[in-house]
Amino acid sequence: MIEPVYELIPDYPGTFIAIIEDENYNEVDSLNEFCKKIDASLHVKSLANKKYDKGLHVDEFKFGQKKYNKHAIQYDFIFVCAKEIKDVLEVANKLYRILKNAGHIFFLCKNEFTPNLSEVFENSNFVAINTIALNNKYDIISAKKMHGWMKV
């Protein structure tokens, strides 16, 4: 479902990409194939006990954990494909902290929630917030972290 967004990711070797996925989505396989093509590193943050390819870097993950990464700023792109997020503002703030400057977040959501979620990302200091309509049920919210903006 998220494949249309791949054309927004430049073909630069050494790109770090993360995906946060739960049992409701199966986006890791296609993203993994894309990462292999552009020689990017993929880190899977798993919200469920799913079985992934043994060659993948997979971490158990919960939105409520204190830190989302061992290394503060690491990712050029983060995909969020999860249905149950209780405090989206807190999650957006934590994701902001692990993105590199000029990094992008791609947030998969039902289109009925798009306006509210866009506002949340704006309140978390993300800029260049855009909506990509995937189909009649789902959108992807694209947002960017800019260099020199305040910390959250």
Q: What are the structural domains of the chain?
A: 12-144 (3.40.50.150)
Strand partners, 46: 21, 60
Phi, psi dihedral angles at 110 (to 5 degrees): -70, 140
Token pair of 96 as six digits: 């902001």
Phi, psi dihedral angles at 127 (to 5 degrees): -130, 180
Phi, psi dihedral angles at 90 (to 5 degrees): -65, -40
Length of the chain: 152
- pLDDT of residue 149 exceeding 70, the answer is no
pLDDT reported for residue 53: 83
pLDDT reported for residue 43: 94
pTM of the model: 0.91
C-alpha closest to that of 48 among 98, 102, 84: 84
pLDDT reported for residue 133: 93
- pLDDT of residue 150 exceeding 70, the answer is no
User: What does the pLDDT look like over 8-59, one tens digit per residue?
Assistant: 999 988 899 999 998 878 899 999 999 999 999 999 999 988 888 888 999 8
pLDDT reported for residue 74: 87
In whole angstroms, give the CA distance from residue 126 to residue 146. 7
Residue 45 · residue 20 · CB < 8 Å: yes
In whole angstroms, give the CA distance from residue 50 to residue 105. 23
pLDDT reported for residue 152: 56
Q: What is the mean pLDDT of residues 119-143?
A: 93
User: What does the pLDDT look like over 83-117, one tens digit per residue?
Assistant: 888 899 999 999 999 999 999 999 999 999 999 99
pLDDT reported for residue 148: 59
Amino acid, single-letter form, for residue 104: H
Phi, psi dihedral angles at 116 (to 5 degrees): -65, -40
